[in-house]
Amino acid sequence: MSKQKKSKVRLLHQYYKYTGFYSFIWENSKKALLPLATVIGILLYINYRVMSIDDMLYYVTQNFSDLSIFSLFLISESILGLLPPDIFIAWTKNTQSPLLYLSILAVLSYLGGVISYYKGRTLLLIPKINDYLEGKMTKHIKNMQKWGGFLIAVGALLPLPFAIACLAAGMIKFPQKQFFIFASLRVFRFVIYGYIIYSALS
């Protein structure tokens, strides 16, 4: 690595350190890991104390269509991530094609982020809604202005509010091409969490 590149990396590191980016990731990761551990704990408790997870997920697959579950997931991912994706990941394990269904979830989650991004750009055109969102999301907007694409990448990969990061990106009119690239990292989150949850439930 050349001295020029090293100096750029060092300056970038200092910037993120001084603006609190690393502490932001650490604190929010700790908060987000608790819900994940809770979900896995609940699933394991149900599996060993109440009923088999396989039986429960089989009931879901028999009584709800794939389309309805995928639609619910897309709606959730488009509206601030109302439902934990981990529940849906656990559902895919009991389907006929777990990896295919997991891939579909990953794509839908990415599309949910894209919808949130364009929602942020569109809602700016409505003064009352714009004022309301700016008041509610002041902190997220400031963070997006400071950290931009890195915040989107972190939201995509870690158990952080991805939809909120995408909405804030849209509200500050973050460049579309760069947004698509950073947001596409969302797919890797499903690969990692799919492996963790599949292993826990095996």
DSSP 180-191: HHHHTTHHHHHH
**Is-contact 46 56, C-beta < 8 A?**
yes
* pLDDT tens per residue, range 141-183: 777 777 777 888 888 887 777 888 888 888 888 899 999 999 9
Nearest residue to 42 (alpha-carbon basis) of 197, 157, 193 = 197
Q: Using CA atoms, how far apart are residues 112 and 198, in angstroms rounded to an integer? A: 23
Q: How far apart are CA 38 and CA 35, in angstroms?
A: 5
Q: Which tokens is 35 given?
A: 């819900």
User: What would the pLDDT profile of 15-65 be if each residue is shown by its tens digit?
Assistant: 767 777 677 677 766 666 666 677 667 767 776 777 666 676 667 777 788
Supply the mean pLDDT for the chain. Answer: 79
Instruction: Give the model's pLDDT for residue 35.
Output: 64
pLDDT of residue 101: 95
pTM of the model: 0.73
